[in-house]
Amino acid sequence: MAKEKPTTYLVPGFHSDVVWIEDQRDYAVSLMGDMHQNLQICKFDPHYGVFLHEITYMKPYLDTHPEERDFVRELVKEGRIGTGGSHSQPSETLISDEALIRNILYGRLYHEGCLGDKPVIYMPWDVFGHCAQLAQIL
C-alpha cells in the first residue's frame, strides 16, 4: 500500500503594524490597498483564499467600502477568508495578560458579529515571543 504524501497548505495573508516607522494614517492607506487587492483576486480566482484578521485594516476598509461587506461575509462562509480571532497582534511580552484577553475578546466580537465567523485560530504572525500564559488565556 502506497503511503499518502502529506499535504502542505500555503495561506496568503499580511500583517499590519499600527505604528512603526510611519504613522497610522500611512499604514492604513497601504493596508486597505492590500485588503482590496486580495478581495479582487478572490473575485477573479474562485480557488483563492486569504487570511484577513486584523481589525486595524478590516474595519476601515469595510467602513469605506460598504458594498464589499456581503462579499466578505460570503467568502468567510465559504472558508475562503479566515480570520484570526483577535483585534490585532500585540507585543504579547510587553502587555499584561488582561490587555491580551481584551484584544482577543474585542476581535472575536468583531469577527463573529460583523463577519459571521467563529474563529478557532489565534494567528500571531509577527510577534516577538509569547507570554507564558498564552495557552491558558486562549
Better-predicted residue by pLDDT, 94 or 7: 7
Burial class (CB in 10 A: 0-12, 13-18, 19+), 80: middle
Q: What is the pLDDT of residue 1?
A: 67
Which segments of the chain are extended strands (E)? Answer: 50-51, 81-82
CB 81 within 8 A of CB 116: no
Most confident of 13-27, 68-82, 83-97, 102-116: 68-82
Tell me the pLDDT tens digit for each residue of 46-60. Answer: 999 999 888 888 999
Tell me the pLDDT tens digit for each residue of 75-94. Answer: 999 999 988 777 777 777 77
